[in-house]
Amino acid sequence: MLTFVKGLDNEASAYIVDEARGRHRCVWTSSCSVDMIGTRNGLICVLDGDTGAVTVANPATRVAVRAAAAVTGVALAVLPRRVHVPCYFNKSGTFDAMYPLWIRPTAKLVTTFTTQAHIRHKLSRKIKAINSRLEDIIENKHKYKIEEANTRTTGTWKASTSISYTHKKLEYLHESDVPIHVEERKKLEKVLLTTPEDLHGKEHNPVIISVFGKSGVGKTTLVRKIFKEIGKQKQFDIPAMECFAPYLSATNILQQIVQKLTTDDQDCPRNMVLENLERKLKEQKYLLVIDGEVSGIELNNILSTLPIGHAGSRIVHITESKPEEPPSNYHHVTIELKTIDKSISKKMFLHHMEVQNLDLENHEDDIIFQITGGLPLAIALLSGLMKTKESTGEWQKVFEYLKSKQSKQIDDMLSICFDDLPHELKCCFLYLAAFPANVTIEARSLVSMWAAEGFLRSKVGKSMEDIGYFYLKELSARNLVSLVQMDDDSNVSNMTVTIQNKVHEFLQFEAHEASFLEVHSGDDIPTLTSARRLSLQNYTDKYAVLANPLPKLRSIFSQFEQEPKEELETMTKSIQAYVCCSPQQGTIASMQKKNIKSHIKELLHGSEFLRVINIQGIEIGNRLTRAIGKAVHLQYLGITSCSLENIPSSIGNLTSLQTLDVRETKVRKLPKAFWMIKTLRHVFGFILKLPKQTVNLKQLHTLDSIELEDFEQGLDNTLGEMIHLEGLVIWKISNRNVEALLSALRKLESLKTLNLQGNNITSSVFTTLFLRRLKFMVLDGELDFSSDKLNNGLALPNLTMLTLKETKVTQEFINKLAKLPSLVTLALCLGSYKDQELVFFSNKFRCLKKLKVDVEKLKKVEIKLSMLPKLKKLEIRTHDSHHYQEHEVTHQEHEQKTVISWKKENAIQVE
């Protein structure tokens, strides 16, 4: 490839090399060692198939870029023949018994040599052909009108070439609290909190509220903010908000709602949806928010399936088009959101910029409005783009360029924002197109997939995960993705992100044009034999595309169960009940499950270069096929939200596996061979049994979650050997294993997140000197606290967030927490505090900014602000009266060193 690049002009060669380096891809030469491409991270497409996703002004450069992708495409085509060579080796690394011992070295040498010669010869011919074609283009510039095209090219501004690594921490990148849609917000709050009698509800049926408006107008943002506030106030017994991909069936939507309401990370089978829904919602006052496009027929199916709840229940539906009227026995309220006016557009833009800039503030209101049309999404994208520009000249060029675009303003904005991304971020951003529109994505799972794809490279002092979070933070700072959930009492590992529908539509178009990703979302059966990433987002004929071999496939994604081919629109509740109980339907389901199993088995046999498998909500049976051991290059395996119970021992063949995710399944024990994979970095499950023997898992970063049995021999040789563990969740701590656990924790000096649950949690976790990097801790269970243990001080200098549940601590213990020098958030949840009064009068919490009190027996809270000099927010909730109060501490109150007090049944008082 270097020979090919040297034959180009300076612009083309510089561009290709820059793109390749920016994407962490090697520029391969026909003279370099072929052994390089036989490695796990060997030759991949120079631009990773992304040649169409970048703007190239020079036609010669454009041809060169595509030619580079063509050459590496040929390399990928012949690569399997090279990588088959290791298949002649057995598990111990020696030549298989198919050759006699005396001839094995010779056979190995001959096989390797012939493969190298074949690859070199074929690539050499292709490179020569491309060079010849480029020379023809250069000699006939007039025919291709290259010079004329160059004269018409106009420069705008210099795109970003590196990541800013913004100083703002990831957990503080919340959605901006911009005061827009004020009247609509008041109306929505009134409808949600008004009694059914005022709305003339019939037979206690829930009131239907439809919030609609064009894409990007801010519907989800508005509803989510109100949902969070109402959730804190405990106005509803059962609150649930879920985002759905467009036009899911009622069955899939209800299953996801029940899954949302299911605790303890348990899976909800499809045949149990109606039963669980009835059990959870009957006679309860519930608030369900359905965020996504749903047809009127499916919405009626959902309404007819929901049980009659307590008076005051509400259903909020967020949609783009004006909704159809529900059945006449439901009260229906519609709220339409429109674009905002000029003055509010400018205020929102400046608010998103988060900096005081006179040059931007002096711009006329008309400019921002003319560019964005008053669409909040466009305003957020523009502000995210402008934050990356440092000079007034660049700002002016951006404004002038966007003003010149007269049509499809949001598409132009998205294209510019994408082109402005640094090279290393473009692949990560395009990767989001693999997920369905309008769904939330767990941040840590996304980062793990980026790492498995090879998009992340560790740097000095930074792991791959650290770099991934930097990338995610940069995308969020540019408002290209949104943080949609950040619990105040949890850490960043519980953060989820979402992509706005318009942005997602743009990403899918760009990913398809660049041959980066193929999405199967319709009923057609495209030919995808050359696809390297495949996302199955359809609900009928879901696996038909897998009938053809996919030899180059590296990643596959599939969400949501396949629907039967019957006309779902005619399905009523009675028909659903019949189908669920019909023996014929059981046969159909059995055949379907068998087909899914066979498709997956054939995929694993025919796509030997798979690196990522992410299957969510797909019933593949109780046992994963043994063929999973064939995917020896697999680095990410996620099978969630299904009835899977058993993982075969052949998973031990996946010697490159980094991440396993089996949450919301019935998997409780993993085979011993799995714990012998040295490359493991993240294990996600629910109360998995920790084996009594493992290999030295020094690369493991996350273990979520495990249960402890009676480890009489100790945990030092298992858990204690995971010395780079950063996140750990443990269940069922008892007197029989607490000492062994404490001994193992002393070896885990890299821990940043610790979650302990059990009936005997030792307070020694606060005094051990080896947890000095710990930042987030959750203790759920009775705390074995004695004053003598904490008299010598606490040893958690970096602990910023502490959550206590069912710990039954006293005022004396709370006073001891003042010795934590970095504590920012303290949450006292149900059962955490057993005294009747809580005071902060004598011990100074120097860094505490948020105090959350949520206990049953509490009758009085008193806070002297001189003891909490940085306190910003106080939340108090009592469960016996469902009373919730929140107080924002002002700067004036701190200056006056006032006392904040609260007594049961009374409001918060400031004295």
Residues 518-560: tens digit of each pLDDT = 888 765 666 667 788 999 887 666 666 777 778 889 999 988 6
Residue partners of 145: CB distance under 8 A and separation at least 6: none
- What pLDDT band is residue 36 in, cutting at 50, 70 and 90? very low
Is residue 634 within 8 A of residue 229, CB to CB? The reply is no
The answer to whether residue 715 sits within a structural domain is: no
- List pLDDT tens digits, range 358-395: 556 666 567 888 888 899 999 999 988 988 887 777 87
Percent of the chain surpassing pLDDT 90: 34
- pLDDT at position 438: 87
Segment 64-93 shows an average pLDDT of 48
Residue partners of 546: CB distance under 8 A and separation at least 6: 599, 602, 603
The answer to whether residue 587 sits within a structural domain is: no
**pLDDT of residue 42 exceeding 60:** no
Q: In what order do the strands lie in the sheet with 314-319?
A: 238-243, 286-291, 314-319, 207-212, 332-336
Q: Report H helices in 204-295.
A: 219-233, 250-261, 273-281
Residue that wins the pLDDT comparison between 247 and 741: 741
Segment 116-129 shows an average pLDDT of 75
Which runs of E-coded beta strand occur in 298-351?
314-319, 332-336
β-bridge partners, 885: 876
Separation CA 404–CA 595 (nearest Å): 54
Provide the 10 A C-beta neighbour count for residue 482. Answer: 21
- List pLDDT tens digits, range 688-734: 998 888 888 999 999 998 998 766 567 888 999 999 999 999 998 98
Final residue belonging to a domain, choices 336, 371, 406: 336
- pLDDT at position 2: 43
- pLDDT at position 260: 82
Separation CA 875–CA 900 (nearest Å): 12
Whether residue 457 sits in one domain with residue 390: yes
What secondary structure letter does DSSP report for 690? P
Total residues belonging to the chain: 911
Whether residue 327 sits in one domain with residue 209: yes
**pLDDT of residue 579 exceeding 50:** no
3-state SS track over 646-673: ECCHHHHHCCCCCEEECCCCCCCCCCCC
Q: What is the CATH number of the domain that holds 287?
A: 3.40.50.300
Whether residue 389 sits in one domain with residue 324: no
Whether residue 330 sits in one domain with residue 186: yes
Whether residue 198 sits in one domain with residue 332: yes
Whether residue 212 sits in one domain with residue 133: no
**Using CA of residue 862, residue 864, residue 865, residue 871, what is the dihedral sign?**
negative
Whether residue 247 sits in one domain with residue 117: no
- pLDDT at position 244: 87
Segment 587-592 shows an average pLDDT of 41
The answer to whether residue 737 sits within a structural domain is: no
Separation CA 446–CA 465 (nearest Å): 10
The two tokens of residue 894 are 């701190």
- pLDDT at position 651: 96
The count of structural domains within the chain is 4
Alpha-carbon distance values, 850 to 640, 662, 804, 826 (Å) = 35, 34, 14, 6
At 393 the three-state DSSP class reads helix
Separation CA 346–CA 364 (nearest Å): 9
- List pLDDT tens digits, range 664-686: 899 999 999 999 999 999 999 99
The answer to whether residue 576 sits within a structural domain is: no
Residue that wins the pLDDT comparison between 339 and 46: 339
Alpha-carbon distance values, 369 to 148, 373, 478, 665 (Å) = 35, 5, 19, 49
Alpha-carbon distance values, 439 to 498, 506, 518, 718 (Å) = 6, 16, 18, 37
The answer to whether residue 785 sits within a structural domain is: no
The letter for the amino acid at 192 is L
3-state SS track over 828-866: ECCCCECCCEEEECCCCCCCCCEEEEECCCCCEEEEECC
Residue partners of 67: CB distance under 8 A and separation at least 6: 4, 130, 133, 134
**pLDDT of residue 756 exceeding 90:** yes
- What pLDDT band is residue 65 in, cutting at 50, 70 and 90? low
Final residue belonging to a domain, choices 500, 519, 536: 536
**pLDDT of residue 73 exceeding 80:** no
Q: What is the pTM of this model?
A: 0.81
Separation CA 701–CA 686 (nearest Å): 17
**pLDDT of residue 189 exceeding 70:** yes
**pLDDT of residue 5 exceeding 70:** no
Segment 757-767 shows an average pLDDT of 89
Q: Which of 264-268, 377-381, 742-746 has the weakest average pLDDT?
A: 264-268
The answer to whether residue 687 sits within a structural domain is: no
DSSP string, 599-615: HHHHHHHH-TT--EEEE
Provide the 10 A C-beta neighbour count for residue 450. Answer: 22
- pLDDT at position 863: 92
Segment 465-482 shows an average pLDDT of 91
**pLDDT of residue 608 exceeding 70:** yes
**H or E segment and range at residue 287:** strand 286-291
- What pLDDT band is residue 3 in, cutting at 50, 70 and 90? very low
- What pLDDT band is residue 845 in, cutting at 50, 70 and 90? very high
**pLDDT of residue 896 exceeding 90:** no
Closest C-alpha to 603, from 777, 612, 284, 830: 612
Residue 273 lies in domain: 182-336
Residue partners of 500: CB distance under 8 A and separation at least 6: 215, 216, 377, 482
Whether residue 510 sits in one domain with residue 378: yes
Segment 219-239 shows an average pLDDT of 88
The two tokens of residue 32 are 């370099």
Residue partners of 875: CB distance under 8 A and separation at least 6: 232, 850, 851, 852, 853, 854, 884, 885, 886
At 237 the three-state DSSP class reads coil
Provide the 10 A C-beta neighbour count for residue 283. Answer: 10
- pLDDT at position 456: 92
| Angle between helix 365-372 and 392-403 (nearest 10) | 50
Task: Express the helix, strand and coil content of the chain in percent, nearest 5 each.
Answer: 40, 15, 45
Mean pLDDT of the chain: 78
Percent of the chain surpassing pLDDT 70: 72
Whether residue 119 sits in one domain with residue 241: no
Whether residue 196 sits in one domain with residue 144: no
Final residue belonging to a domain, choices 536, 556, 590: 536
The answer to whether residue 282 sits within a structural domain is: yes
β-bridge partners, 108: none
- pLDDT at position 64: 58
- pLDDT at position 776: 94
Residue that wins the pLDDT comparison between 487 and 596: 596
**Rounded CA Rg of the chain:** 30
- List pLDDT tens digits, range 311-323: 788 999 999 988 8
Residue that wins the pLDDT comparison between 190 and 642: 190
Segment 513-522 shows an average pLDDT of 84
> Which residue bears the tokens 């909730």?
877
What secondary structure letter does DSSP report for 565? S
**Residue 64: Cβ-neighbour burial (10 angstroms; 0-12, 13-18, 19+):** buried
**Residue 701: Cβ-neighbour burial (10 angstroms; 0-12, 13-18, 19+):** buried
- pLDDT at position 784: 85
Residue that wins the pLDDT comparison between 191 and 139: 191
The winner for highest mean pLDDT among 251-255, 790-794, 861-865 is 861-865
Q: Which of 48-57, 271-280, 556-565 has the weakest average pLDDT?
A: 48-57
Whether residue 387 sits in one domain with residue 309: no
At 182 the three-state DSSP class reads helix
Segment 107-115 shows an average pLDDT of 67
Backbone angles phi, psi at 534, to 5 degrees: -135, 130
**pLDDT of residue 488 exceeding 70:** no
Separation CA 344–CA 737 (nearest Å): 59
Residue that wins the pLDDT comparison between 697 and 598: 697
The answer to whether residue 291 sits within a structural domain is: yes
Whether residue 892 sits in one domain with residue 836: yes
Is residue 849 within 8 A of residue 871, CB to CB? The reply is yes
Q: Which of 295-299, 468-472, 616-620, 627-631 has the weakest average pLDDT?
A: 616-620
- pLDDT at position 882: 61
